[in-house]
């Protein structure tokens, strides 16, 4: 059983996926509230499992309230299961396996060096940039360059080498990158709610 990554600083983790779309937030929350419950009642000591993954109940409120989603591999599993969490049969064996996995924690993250950048011009600021970029260098020397798109996911980009003459790339700390993501997530979520209300 794989434990979902527990992001240490919820607000300062630019690598944590964000979801602005209200409908997708609800589908993810339904999956996270489903599966089989490990523990009694509700609260911080309650876990959920779909038989392969294990996650804390707090993930449900984090995605609904702030759009903070679990890691991409778990999101991919949700999508593959049409956002319906499999519910393995509860019992002592499942509980023991889940608690053993929980104590062991999530798998170690690969060692990488990630640097974040914002692209600004004369009319934008680092707090409200034109775009948010990251460069990732792996332990074997591989380099990837990505930008955040409107879906709040990271996508390959050539923005590091092809930018407008008046644009400037500025390196920012992870907390600043996370703040930009949180701002965009909240803004685009509010826009989606307004659009839905007028339909």
Residue 8: is its pLDDT beyond 60? no
Q: Can you tell me the mean pLDDT for 27-46?
A: 88
Q: Can you tell me the mean pLDDT for 62-80?
A: 94
Q: What pLDDT shows up at residue 43? A: 67
Q: Can you tell me the mean pLDDT for 24-33?
A: 97
Residue 181: is its pLDDT beyond 80? yes
Q: What separation, in Å, do the N-terminal and C-terminal C-alpha atoms of the chain show?
A: 43
Are the CB atoms for 178 and 14 separated by under 8 Å? yes
The rounded distance, in Å, linking the Cα atoms of 4 and 47 is 11
Q: What pLDDT shows up at residue 42? A: 73
Are the CB atoms for 98 and 46 separated by under 8 Å? no
pLDDT in tens, 84-113: 999 999 999 999 999 999 999 998 888 899
Residue 164: is its pLDDT beyond 70? yes
Q: What pLDDT shows up at residue 39? A: 86
Residue 119: is its pLDDT beyond 80? yes
Q: What pLDDT shows up at residue 11? A: 56
pTM score: 0.86
Q: What pLDDT shows up at residue 6? A: 83
Q: Which two tokens stand for residue 190?
A: 């509010």
Residue 12: is its pLDDT beyond 80? no
């Amino acid at each position: 059983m794989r434990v979902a990554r527990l992001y240490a600083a919820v607000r300062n983790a630019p690598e944590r996926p964000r979801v602005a779309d209200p409908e997708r937030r609800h589908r993810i929350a339904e999956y996270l509230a489903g599966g089989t419950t490990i523990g009694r009642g509700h609260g911080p000591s309650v876990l959920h499992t779909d038989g392969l993954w294990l996650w804390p109940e707090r993930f449900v409120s984090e995605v609904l309230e702030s759009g903070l989603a679990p890691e991409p591999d778990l999101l991919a599993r949700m999508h593959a299961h049409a956002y319906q969490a499999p519910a393995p049969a509860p019992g002592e064996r499942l509980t023991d396996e889940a608690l053993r996995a929980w104590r062991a924690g999530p798998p170690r993250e690969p060692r990488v060096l990630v640097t974040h950048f914002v692209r600004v011009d004369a009319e934008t600021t680092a707090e409200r940039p034109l775009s948010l970029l990251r460069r990732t260098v792996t332990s074997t020397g591989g380099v990837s360059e990505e930008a955040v798109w409107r879906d709040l996911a990271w996508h390959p980009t050539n923005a590091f080498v092809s930018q407008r003459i008046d644009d400037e790339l500025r390196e920012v700390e992870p907390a600043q990158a996370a703040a930009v993501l949180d701002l965009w997530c909240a803004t685009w979520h509010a826009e989606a709610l307004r659009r839905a209300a007028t339909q």
